[in-house]
Structure 1
């Protein structure tokens, strides 16, 4: 069964203190749903074309369905509610190759 992935790119993080609240809640929700953060950071990113060399996060789940369910979970929705106003990110859920 193909794995599922959350791919997040954060063009800007205006208030890192408020973002830390989201980050803590999101981490709890991801772990509770069986997700594993396999890449996170922004200090070593080589961006090409229209790529964004800011914070990038990659989270792996055992299946695409599990990744979707994790996003829709009450715990993750609570984390989303903690995002600060004006927050911007490029987020998607994708299926692995098998």
Structure 2
């Protein structure tokens, strides 16, 4: 079974402190769903082509289905509700290779 990944890129973060509540709640939801965070940060990003040198988050789940279920969970929905107004991110769930 192929692993599943959450990949997030944050084009701009004007007030990082405004993400504190979301980050805490999202971390709990990811952990409860068995996710493992491989990258989270923006201090060392080398962007190429149309890439954006901002915060990137990469989270692995045991399967694509588990990654989707984690996103749809009540715990993660609570985290999403804590995102500040006007917040922008590029988020996707992708299936890994076998």
TM-score, structure 1 as length reference:
0.97
1:71-86 alignment, distance < 5 Å? 71-86=71-86
Q: How many residue pairs were aligned?
A: 98
**Equivalence for 1:13:** 13
Cα RMSD, aligned residues only:
0.6
CA deviation after TM superposition for structure 1 residue 14, in Å? 2.0
Question: Which deviates further from its counterpart, 64-73 or 5-14?
Answer: 5-14
Q: Give runs of ≥4 in structure 1 deviating > 6 Å.
A: none
Contact 1:14 1:87 in 2 (8 A): no
1:9-88 alignment, distance < 5 Å? 9-88=9-88
Q: Output the CA distance in 2 between the equivalents of 1:79 and 1:18.
A: 13
TM-score, structure 2 as length reference:
0.97
1:95 aligns with 2:95: yes
CA deviation after TM superposition for structure 1 residue 13, in Å? 1.4
Give 1 or 2: higher strand fraction: 1
Q: Output the CA distance in 2 between the equivalents of 1:12 and 1:25.
A: 21
Structure 2 portions without partners, runs of 5+: none
